[in-house]
Amino acid sequence: MPAAPTEAIERARRVRLMLFDVDGVLTDGRLWYSAQGEALKAFSARDGHGMKLLAAAGVRLALLSGRSSPAVALRAAELGIDLVLQGIADKRAAFDALLAQLALEPAAAGFMGDELVDLPVLRRCGFACAPGEAPELVRQHAHYVARAAAGGGAVREVCEFVLRAQGRLDGALEAYLQ
């Protein structure tokens, strides 16, 4: 069952690393293929800007995906995300290895996933998030379920929630209000 709002806020306050799945989180989950077999993905500029705001506030970003795609590597580079884990069959093991590499405890990490394969990380991280379209079992293990659609603002919503919980949202937006 999703966390009470105050518990979600407390968990988001501790986030120092925020990981995102790609298909069904950063994208709407549809897989498009060109005639040459290349997988095409559409990313939201709003989600990307939310991630940039979160990174500028000092939260480290990472992508953790079961699939591999050159488009994901390009998008990550464009956003300045250097922690990009693609083609990961065991997301829990990759998550644990990343935490060890960064010397972080699970409570300091958030993860947004949308599918059953994401449950091991969602159940281990300190702040678990999911888009509203995620299966019921995934939403039950999320501390925060976004109202916005996957690939259409859900990531931005989570980024702003973390910034608000950490008391950094106003500061992140200040430059735009001058």
Are the C-beta atoms of 81 and 51 separated by less than 8 Å? yes
User: Has residue 126 got a pLDDT over 90?
Assistant: yes
pLDDT higher than threshold 60 for residue 1: no
88-93: Cβ within 8 A, 24+ apart: 88/64, 91/64, 91/66, 91/117, 91/118, 91/120, 91/121, 92/120, 92/121, 92/124
pTM: 0.94
Q: Express each pLDDT in 25-53 by its tens digit.
A: 999 999 888 888 777 899 999 999 999 99
| Residue-level pLDDT at 3 | 67
What confidence tier does 4 reach under pLDDT thresholds 50, 70, 90?
low
Phi, psi (deg, nearest 5) at residue 65: -130, 145
Confidence of residue 175 (pLDDT cuts 50, 70, 90): confident
CATH 3.40.50.150 is held by the domain 5-177: no
Task: Please check the confidence at residue 15 and state whether its pLDDT lies above 90.
Answer: yes
pLDDT in tens, 129-160: 999 999 999 999 999 999 999 999 999 999 99
Domain boundaries, the chain: 5-177
Q: Model confidence over 71-109: pLDDT tens digits? A: 999 999 999 999 999 999 999 999 999 999 999 999 999
Helix axis angle for 154-165 and 45-56, nearest 10°, is 20
Nearest-angstrom CA–CA distance, 47 and 159 = 8
